[in-house]
Amino acid sequence: MKKSRCGTMPWESDLPAMGIIPFPLPRLDWYSRSTSTAITHDDLHPRHPMTPQQLHGIALVRKRIDEIDNTVLDLLKERLDCARTIGKLKDESKRAKWDPQRELEIYERLRKNNADVFPPAALYSIFHEIITTCRLSQRKATVAYLGPEATFTHQAGVRYFGQTASYQPMESIPEVFQEVERERVQYGIIPVENSIEGAVTYSLDSFLLYKVQICGEIKLPINHNLVNRSGNMEDIKTVVSHSQALAQCRQWLRKHLPGVPAMPVFSTATAAKMAAEDPSLAAIASSLAITTYQLQVVVRGIEDFQGNKTRFLVLGDKSPSRCGNDRTSVVFGLINRPGALNEVLTILSAKGIDMTKLESRPAKNQLWQYVFFVDMVGHIEDPPVHEACNILKQICAYFEILGSYPAAEAAMPAD
């Protein structure tokens, strides 16, 4: 058997002498027992009789698990120290701490080396938290989000930045923009569109009022849960939630709770808090809200359409360098003449640029005038995108680059 780089396995040689073949071993409940090598009551329970040799074999394997855990911890501490050293060197050279290209290389190397032995999704989650924690050790990130605590926006922030960032809830989307623009926080996170309900207009309009840059995105699966204090549907007299959550569950509510009124509130987290205080209320809320406000689940996953996702944007003072899997977002206004929009689309097409989104919004300062938000594949450092944007600046009445950033399909921020 291939030995771990952490050391040899002396207990292996003891097992054959006891009539036990070292591998493959039967599945062990190591999640609950790996912290101790002691034989527990369950091991001696009459329903699970075990021979002394088997009990000794389990104790030896548990001892090895403890050794592995200690080695992993030592390596994590060493990695943290290395990350801090990198941070100091980058400070000296005035380089940005966020390197998306390096991030992609780390995840790709781990994926190949793993060869699907360890569950890939769990591997990604573990290393995302490790990498994010190491990056934040250089400078702890402060993140403004649309609050209160336990909203889907908060959940997206934790998914993106990890548990160790400092999160500051805001009462409105414009406040998130304002906090980032005034440099009271390093980052902000806002919802920008939902796969079912469409654009979040407050977010789009705020880009016209505040000078911030998009530096990342995340697409979060939205699973709506009906929750209350008791977990019983018969106790529900009113359903409360954010207007979009109610809209995304309207068919389910109409079928299963006919005649029960639905009341829109500021956020899904506000709804959860209200339900925690009033036994007659049920909330449509996130899984994070359930644990935060200690609610009981009545029904999970009541959204009308499967695959419901919300796209969130990460705001900062500057966009990161290219990583090879990027998006660029721009906003522009047109001179009022025939074919003006078609001219813009023709320029993007001629440069071979894939446009992934086109959204119009009324210009607030001119009646019946509109601005257009466009997302395109590529980074502003890529020649085709750079050249196309330079041409658009010349022919548009108004043009602004909102940011270039790693696409949600790429790995999340690391160092």
Report pLDDT digits (tens) over 311-343: 999 999 988 888 888 999 999 999 888 999 999
What's the pLDDT score for residue 123? Answer: 87
Between helix 120-138 and helix 100-114 the angle, nearest 10°, is 150
Q: How far apart are CA 6 and CA 189, in angstroms?
A: 40
The strands making up 281-285's β-sheet, listed across from edge to edge, are 262-264, 238-241, 281-285, 225-228, 296-299
CA dist list (Å): 358 to 204, 334, 372, 373:
12, 14, 7, 6
DSSP 95-109: --S--HHHHHHHHHH
Q: How far apart are CA 210 and CA 187, in angstroms?
A: 14
What's the pLDDT score for residue 27? Answer: 43
pTM reported for the whole predicted model: 0.68
Q: How far apart are CA 117 and CA 279, in angstroms?
A: 47
135-174 residue pLDDT tens: 766 667 899 998 888 888 998 998 888 877 889 999 899 9
What's the pLDDT score for residue 99? Answer: 67
Q: How far apart are CA 50 and CA 42, in angstroms?
A: 10
Cis peptide bond upstream of 413, omega within 30? no
What's the pLDDT score for residue 11? Answer: 46
- Mean pLDDT in consecutive groups of 10 residues from the start of the chain, 415 residues: 46 46 43 46 61 88 92 90 79 61 81 90 83 72 88 89 87 94 94 89 94 94 93 96 91 95 91 95 91 93 88 93 91 91 95 95 82 96 96 94 86 39
What's the pLDDT score for residue 12? Answer: 47
Q: How far apart are CA 203 and CA 193, in angstroms?
A: 9
Q: How far apart are CA 372 and CA 357, in angstroms?
A: 10
Q: Please give the structure tokens belonging to residue 413.
A: 């921020």
Q: How far apart are CA 306 and CA 321, in angstroms?
A: 35
